Amino acid sequence: LAVLTTSTLPRWGGEILSDHLKTEARAARHLDLVHPNAHLESKGYPVPKATKTGTTICGTVFKDGVILGADSRATSDNIVAEKECQKIYYLVPNITCGAGTAADMEKVAELISSQLELHRLNTGRSVPVVAACRMIKQRLFNYQGYIGAALIVGGVDSTGPHLFEIHPHGSSQTGMFCTMGSGSLACMSVLESRWKENMNLDEAKQMVRDAIKAGITNDLGSGSNVDMCVITKDKVDFIRPYEVVCAKGVSFLKKNSLTVTPSWIPTEVIPSAEQKELDALVSKCQRNEEASRKLCRDLKKYCDTMSSLGKAEVAMTGDLSSSSMCQNDPQLCHLVEGYHALAQQVGQPRCCRAEP
Amino acid sequence: MSLKIHHPVGDVASGDGKQAYFSPYMDNGGSTVAIAGEDYVIIATDTRLSAGFQILSREQPKLFRLTKSTVLGCSGCWCDILTLTRLIEARIKMYNHEHRKQMSTGAIAQLLTTMLYQRRFFPYYVSNVLVGFDEEGKGITYSYDPVGHCSKSTFVASGSSGALLQPLLDNQVGLKNLEGVQPVPVSKEKALTLIKDTFVSAAERDIYTGDGILVNIISKDGIVEQTIPLRHD
C-alpha cells in the first residue's frame, strides 16, 4: 500500500474528510490515496517521517546566463541526516535546485528530466525553460501540495536566460533572482541588497556564495558547503563544492583513539614480530611431530608386513620341499631347501625397533 | 520523562483549518556534558541559543555557578532556566544566612529535586546537570529530568544532543562494550579532551548544538573556565 510522503498531512475528522474530498475530487485527479492514507492514520499508522532538506537555495540571472546555488545539509527533525547532500538536479540543459522533502525532490527531477528528453525528441529542438516550469507545476498542482517540493528552475534557452520559482502547491513566479527554503530569508537579504542588472560572472558568483553562506550560518536547517551551478548558452559548470563554509571539527585527541580500544596494561609484553616468529616455530614443530609419528606407524606396519612375508616364505618353501614334486626332482629339492634355509635365516633376527 | 513541544501557531500554509494554539514552552536547545573524577569535575555546555530554525545567540553560556564548588548546567526552555536559576540562587543565599555555612552539593541536589517537583503539574522545561563534590571530596554528577527525578553518576550527557553523546561517554568513560580493558580512572586531561571531542561530534549531527563550548573545570583550587569554538552552521 503506497503512502505519499509529505511534511504536512492534515488531521481530519470523519465528516470533514468527505467534504474536503469532494472539493478536492473536483479539482484534482490523483487523490485516490487520500482515503486509504486517512484510514491508515486512524488505525494508528501515522505517515512516516520524511527527510526534509530544510535548505537554502537561490538563483540569479547575470549577464551571460543563470547561476544557481544551494547548501548541502539534509535534516530529519533536529538531526543532520546528510552533510553533503546534492540539491542541484540536472534536467536537460536546464537545471533545478530543490528545497523541501528530499525524496519528493529527487523523484520530481527524475520524472521531469525524462519527460523533457521526450519533448526534445518529439519537437526536434532544444527545450525551453518554460516547458520544464510548466510540467513541474502541473504535476505539483495535481497533487495539491502533498508533494513537498519547492524548486527553482533555471536555464538558458534560445530566448535567453530564465529563472522560475515553483511552490509545492503548483504556483510559479519568474524573476531576476529568487530564494527558497528555510534559509530563504537570510539569503534574500543578501540578494536584495547586492543584486544589480548585467553582473559579470565573478560578481554574480561571489554574490550567490555570500547569499548561501548567510543561509548556512544563520539558519539551522542549512549547513556545510556551498554548491553552485553556472549555466550559460554554451556550457554548464557544476561546481560541487564551490566552498566549504563549515568544515568538520578537528578531534582534540592526538591519536584517533575514539575508534580504537584504549590502552591497557598487559601481563607479559612480547613484541608482535617475535610473537609471530614464535608462533611460526611452534606450528612447524607441531607439524614435524605429526609427521614423525606417522612415519613411525608406517615403519611399524612395514616391519610387520616384512616379518609376515618372511614367515610366509618359510612356510611356503617348507611345504614345497615336503611336496611330491620336490621329492621326484632332486635338483628342485635342493634349490627349495636352500631357499627355505635362507628364508628361515633372514626371518629370525629381524626385529623392528620402531619406537616413537 | 520528556515534554512534547508543539509549535506555538498552527501551520497556515497547508490550508487546513487548524485552531489557534498557544504553547507556553519553547525549546531553545543546548547540550550539557559532565565528567567527574577523583578530585575534579568538568562540566561543559554549548553556547548556542536557538528558536526553531533561527539562532538567537551564539555566545550564551548555560553554566551557572551556585557555590565555589558547585555548578549547574541547564538546557531547554530559556525562560524557565532563568527563573529556576534565580530561585535556586536565592534559596542558597537564604540557607547560607540561616545555617552560617556553605550549602553542600548534596544539599543543593536535594533542594533542586524539591523545587522541580513543586511544579509537577506545570513543569520547568529544563534538563539540569548539577556537578560538585560529595562529603568525601570525590567528584559527583547529578542529572535531572524536568520534574525532579535525580540520578547520581560520574558522567552524563543531557540536552538536545544527549542521546548522541551518552553512548560515546558510556564507551569511553564507563568502558562499556570494550574487550580486555583495565578500569583505569579517567585523568583530568583525558576527560577534558573527551568532552571537547564529544561536542565536536555533536555539532556535526545536531543542528541545535554548535557555535562554541564553555567548559568549567572544578577542583579544590577553584573553577577554571575555557571556551572552544565549534561549527557555525
| Cα angle for residues A109, A144, A89 (degrees, 5° grid) | 10
Set of chain A residues whose Cβ sits within 8 Å of the Cβ of B50 = 220
Set of chain B residues whose Cβ sits within 8 Å of the Cβ of A224 = 233
Task: Check residue A38 and give its pLDDT.
Answer: 78
Q: Is the peptide bond before A241 cis (omega within 30 degrees of 0)?
A: yes
Residue of chain B nearest A214, judged by CA positions:
B233
* Of the listed ranges A52-61, A195-204, B53-62, B205-214, the one predicted with least confidence: A52-61
- A113-149 pLDDT, tens digit each: 999 999 999 999 888 999 999 999 999 999 998 888 8
Task: Check residue A353 and give its pLDDT.
Answer: 52
Give residue A11's pLDDT band: very low, low, confident or very high (50, 70, 90): very low
Beta bridge partners of B42: B35, B217
Query: For chain A, how many residues are written?
Result: 356
Q: CB within 8 A of A120, min separation 6: which ones?
A: A92, A126, A127
Set of chain B residues whose Cβ sits within 8 Å of the Cβ of A251 = 197, 200
C-alpha span between B75 and B59 (Å, rounded): 14
Q: Return the beta strands (E) in B5-125 as ranges.
A: 31-36, 40-46, 49-51, 54-57, 63-67, 70-76
User: Would the pLDDT of A7 be above 60?
Assistant: no
User: Would the pLDDT of B4 be above 60?
Assistant: no
Residue to mutate among A144, A182, A220, A253, with most B CBs inside 10 A, is A220
> Which member of B14, B180, B230 has the closest CB to residue A8?
B14
DSSP letters spanning A186-212: HHHHHHHHH--TT--HHHHHHHHHHHH
Q: Which three cell numbers stand for residue B174?
A: 564507563
Q: Do B233 and A78 touch (CB under 8 A)?
A: no
Task: Check residue A335 and give its pLDDT.
Answer: 82
- Pick the more confident residue, A320 or B227: B227
Set of chain A residues whose Cβ sits within 8 Å of the Cβ of B16 = 10-12
Task: Check residue A44 and give its pLDDT.
Answer: 77
C-alpha span between A208 and A62 (Å, rounded): 11
What's the Cα-to-Cα distance from A117 to each of A22, A125, A127, rounded to whole Å?
A: 36, 10, 8
> Which member of A10, A220, A246 has the closest CB to residue B16?
A10
Task: Check residue A15 and give its pLDDT.
Answer: 37
DSSP-based three-state secondary structure for A179:
strand
Q: Do B193 and A253 touch (CB under 8 A)?
A: yes
- Pick the more confident residue, B149 or A126: B149
Rg value, chain A, Cα: 44
- A41-95 pLDDT, tens digit each: 788 776 666 655 578 999 999 998 999 999 999 888 888 988 888 888 888 777 7
Task: Check residue A166 and give its pLDDT.
Answer: 93
The active-site residue out of A55, A56, A75, A317 is: A55
Contact A261, B181 (CB under 8 A): yes
Catalytic residue check, A55: yes
User: Would the pLDDT of B105 be above 90?
Assistant: yes
Give residue A13's pLDDT band: very low, low, confident or very high (50, 70, 90): very low
- A268-296 pLDDT, tens digit each: 556 677 888 888 898 899 999 999 999 99
Span A56-244 CATH architecture:
4-Layer Sandwich (3.60)
Task: Check residue A338 and give its pLDDT.
Answer: 83
Nearest Cα neighbor of B171 from A95, A246, A258, A285 is A258
Task: Check residue A27 and give its pLDDT.
Answer: 47
Q: CB within 8 A of A195, min separation 6: which ones?
A: A60, A176, A177, A207
Contact A67, A41 (CB under 8 A): no
* Contacting A residues, span 212-251, partner chain B, CB-CB under 8 Å: 216-224, 245-246, 248-251
Residue of chain B nearest A256, judged by CA positions:
B197
- Pick the more confident residue, A39 or B145: B145
Average pLDDT, chain A: 80
How would you label A101-137 residue by residue, b for 16+ Cβ within 10 Å and e otherwise?
Answer: bbbbbeebbeebbebbeebeeeeeeebbbbbbbebbb
Residue of chain B nearest A11, judged by CA positions:
B16
Within 10 A of A68 (CB to CB), how many other CB atoms are there? 26
**What residue ranges do the domains of chain B occupy?**
31-229
User: Would the pLDDT of B201 be above 70?
Assistant: yes
Task: Check residue A258 and give its pLDDT.
Answer: 46
Give residue A21's pLDDT band: very low, low, confident or very high (50, 70, 90): low
C-alpha span between B156 and B41 (Å, rounded): 12
What mean pLDDT do residues A206-225 have?
93
- Pick the more confident residue, A343 or A68: A68
C-alpha span between A84 and A226 (Å, rounded): 10
Nearest Cα neighbor of B141 from B165, B182, B171, B108 is B108
Task: Check residue A30 and give its pLDDT.
Answer: 54
The CATH code of the domain at B31-229 is: 3.60.20.10
Set of chain A residues whose Cβ sits within 8 Å of the Cβ of B206 = 78-80
- Report long-range pairs for B23-26 (Cβ below 8 Å, ≥24 apart): B25/B77, B25/B80, B25/B125, B26/B51, B26/B77, B26/B78, B26/B79
If residue A331 lies in a helix (H) or strand (E), which one and from where to where?
A: helix A330-347
User: Would the pLDDT of B208 be above 70?
Assistant: yes
Nearest Cα neighbor of A47 from B22, B27, B14 is B14
The residues of B whose Cβ lies within 8 A of any Cβ of A are: 11, 13-16, 18, 50, 52-55, 160, 164, 168, 172, 175, 178-182, 184, 193-194, 196-197, 200-201, 203-208, 230-233
Task: Check residue A254 and give its pLDDT.
Answer: 56
User: Would the pLDDT of A248 be above 50?
Assistant: yes
- Pick the more confident residue, A51 or B145: B145
Beta bridge partners of B141: B131, B153
**What residue ranges do the domains of chain A occupy?**
1-48, 56-244, 273-352
Residue the block writes with cell 507556553: B24
C-alpha span between A133 and A139 (Å, rounded): 10
- A25-34 pLDDT, tens digit each: 444 455 666 6
User: Would the pLDDT of B145 be above 70?
Assistant: yes
* Of the listed ranges A57-66, A246-255, A277-286, B82-91, the one predicted with least confidence: A246-255
- A307-338 pLDDT, tens digit each: 898 888 888 888 887 777 777 788 888 888 88
Task: Check residue A140 and give its pLDDT.
Answer: 93
Q: CB within 8 A of B206, min separation 6: which ones?
A: A78, A79, A80, B31, B160, B161, B164
User: Would the pLDDT of B158 be above 50?
Assistant: yes
What mean pLDDT do residues A8-32 have?
47
What percentage of residues in chain B have a pLDDT greater than 90?
80
